[in-house]
Amino acid sequence: MRRFVKDDPGYIAWLAEHPEGFVLNTYAHVTSAYLILHRASCRTINRQLAPGSLWTDPYAKTCSDDREEIETWALRQTGKPTKPCGHCLPGEGMGRPVALPTRPQVGRVGPRAPRPADTPIEFDGEPIRIIVRRGSDADSPPLVIEGAQWLAETFFRRDPSAVGRNSYDAWIEATRKDPERSNRVVDRDVTAVNTTMAARTSHEAWAPVIASTDWSWLECLDPSWDLLQTPWSATEWALIGQRLATMFAVTKRRGLGLAVITKVLHIKRPQLIPVMDSVVIEQIGARVSDDVATWVAAIGQVRAVGRRNLAELQAVSDHLRARGIADRSLVRILDALLWVSSPGSGLFSSLAGWERVFRPRTD
């Protein structure tokens, strides 16, 4: 799937290469108010434009050969189905059934179903604001997360990955206390990401990695390195990036992509490696492919977001500690905020009863 914002040459080239594909026409900042799905051949989104007119400004185009991929993406972003074009997809009505529900359900079951709140959130003090500049386009509207301390507290009290002795975070803490286990992948790591992180990764896919006797690619990543707090120079970060690329090259294989690899390796280096699932990638406006260089670049984007909001994230961490929540790395806190502020997260729909704002800034 590709998304084109202020990139008419890329969009026009994609149309030429994918005549049987699908195009979702949206505003540059995706909202449920405008989600029109077209065939790539539809003349309303594929024709010669008048001089000075553009396809991808102020609108944007999300493109894929797989219609269901686009429809699922739209639901995750907005909680609403797409609307088929009346010209190229006539008579279909609103949206087709896809695997994702049209709104995340508070009472749903599954590994990421929210837990009941053990302690009420107290909305005292000033809300902390996190501003996420998406991608490399400085003109695109950022994601603004208001009340980040309360949002993070809700996540760490209610998300299954953060709560309980069998949670993902509990396994991270147990691993941290065992230096030998911190420097190699074990079968229990796969169980941890499948249990409360909804990874659905097979133990067989990880078996060659687990059976390895060479862990130099992991050992060379110092456990004290912090993606957000360590003030590396550009040259130093380039060297770190080379080591991350080696890590990905060693672990990447059929059935093991960016999301599940980072979920497992975050266990080993929770201050350095963010969980790069599809929601986080969308929230930061990253573009990734099968090339591990794009994976490293996406982690660099998370670092940039975190560095710009470092004081705010440290304030969120202080709030969590004051509220009796065990310490989490700033990387984990930022991941949690990016994930839970997406309509695709399991907690999003349960936040309507308190102040939160996820909106583009116009000032």
Give residue-wise pLDDT tens across range 126-174: 889 999 987 665 556 788 888 899 999 999 998 999 998 889 999 999 9
Q: What pLDDT shows up at residue 172?
A: 96
| Average pLDDT over all residues of the chain | 85
Q: What percent of the chain has pLDDT over 90?
A: 54
Give residue-wise pLDDT tens across range 230-262: 999 999 999 999 999 999 999 999 889 999 999
Q: 114: Cβ–Cβ under 8 A, 6 or more apart, which residues?
A: 106, 158, 159, 160, 346, 347, 350
At 48, the pLDDT band (50, 70, 90 cuts) reads confident
Q: Give CA–CA dist 136/237, Å, rounded.
A: 18
Residue 168 carries which side chain, given as an amino acid letter? Y
Q: 13: Cβ–Cβ under 8 A, 6 or more apart, which residues?
A: none
Specify the higher pLDDT residue, 96 or 189: 189
Interval 15-21 mean pLDDT: 92
In this structure, which long-range contacts are made by residues 28-31, counting pairs with CB atoms below 8 Å and at least 24 apart in sequence?
28/57, 28/58, 28/59, 28/60, 28/140, 28/141, 29/140, 29/141, 29/360, 30/60, 30/74, 30/77, 30/78, 31/78
Interval 107-130 mean pLDDT: 72
Does the structure show a pLDDT above 80 at 98? Answer: no
At 106, the pLDDT band (50, 70, 90 cuts) reads very low
Give residue-wise pLDDT tens across range 157-170: 989 999 988 899 99
SS3 166: coil
Say how many C-beta atoms besides its own lie within 10 A of residue 124's C-beta.
6
Q: Give CA–CA dist 345/340, Å, rounded.
A: 5
Specify the higher pLDDT residue, 309 or 356: 309
At 91, the pLDDT band (50, 70, 90 cuts) reads low
Q: What pLDDT shows up at residue 201?
A: 87
Does the structure show a pLDDT above 70 at 270? Answer: yes
Q: What pLDDT shows up at residue 210?
A: 94
Does the structure show a pLDDT above 60 at 99? Answer: no
SS (HEC) of 295-325: HHHHHHHHHHHHHHCHHHHHHHHHHHHHCCC
Look at 13-22, 115-124, 208-217, 346-355 and tell me which has the smallest mean pLDDT. 346-355
DSSP state letters, 107-159: T--STTPPPPPSS-----SPPP-EEE--TT-TTSPPEEESSHHHHHHHHHHH-
Q: What percent of the chain has pLDDT over 70?
A: 86
Interval 303-322 mean pLDDT: 96
Q: Token digits for 300? A: 């660099």
